[in-house]
């Protein structure tokens, strides 16, 4: 029987509690789940790919079928093929995510009909969490405990070094 392999691609800069919830749920659906740390060419990264991989691995202890790998910018379907994945997992926080992700899923299906996209809607407290919001909270020294795992919160605090942005 063929193993069910999925990738969960994203920039994960930083990895949030919403990402963690998606990974936990997807880990129960597939034999192998690869968290693919990729580059978002539209954003300036706070953490290096190696830092993101290390932070995510720390969050995923106890999930033996989940692996974290950094990858260069590429089409997600090409990466899925390269890794032998039959599925792409994407998380949804709201209606705009749904619109955006279904458009990408349709394009991916045209390019790679053998790969299925699975959309997992966020639950409860994870609905409003985005990496951009987390970075904003961190930049002002806000409490990150409801938004990111503890190790990620410590890394964000170290990145911002206690010097918080101010506006006039």
Residues identified as active-site = 19, 43, 93, 131
| Residue 63 phi, psi dihedral angles, 5° rounding | -115, 80
Give CA–CA dist 147/133, Å, rounded. Answer: 9
Give 75-78 contacts, CB < 8 A, sequence gap 24+.
75/111, 76/7, 76/9, 76/36, 76/38, 76/104, 76/108, 77/108, 77/111, 77/112, 77/115
Distance CA 156, CA 149 (A): 11
């Amino acid at each position: 029987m063929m193993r069910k392999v999925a990738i969960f691609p994203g920039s994960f800069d930083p990895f949030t509690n919403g990402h963690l919830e998606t990974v936990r749920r997807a880990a129960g659906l597939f034999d192998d789940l690869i968290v693919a740390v990729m580059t978002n060419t539209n954003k300036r990264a706070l953490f290096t790919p190696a830092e993101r991989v290390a932070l995510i691995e720390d969050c995923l202890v106890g999930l033996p079928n989940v692996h974290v790998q950094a990858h260069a910018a590429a089409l997600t379907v090409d990466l899925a093929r390269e890794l032998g994945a039959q599925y792409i997992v994407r998380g949804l926080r709201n209606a705009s995510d749904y619109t955006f992700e279904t458009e990408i899923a349709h394009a991916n299906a045209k390019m790679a009909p053998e790969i299925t996209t699975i959309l997992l809607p966020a639950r409860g407290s994870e609905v409003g969490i985005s990496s951009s919001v987390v970075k904003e909270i961190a930049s002002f020294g806000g409490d990150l405990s409801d938004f990111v795992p503890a190790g990620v919160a410590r890394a964000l605090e170290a990145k911002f070094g206690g010097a918080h942005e101010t506006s006039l």
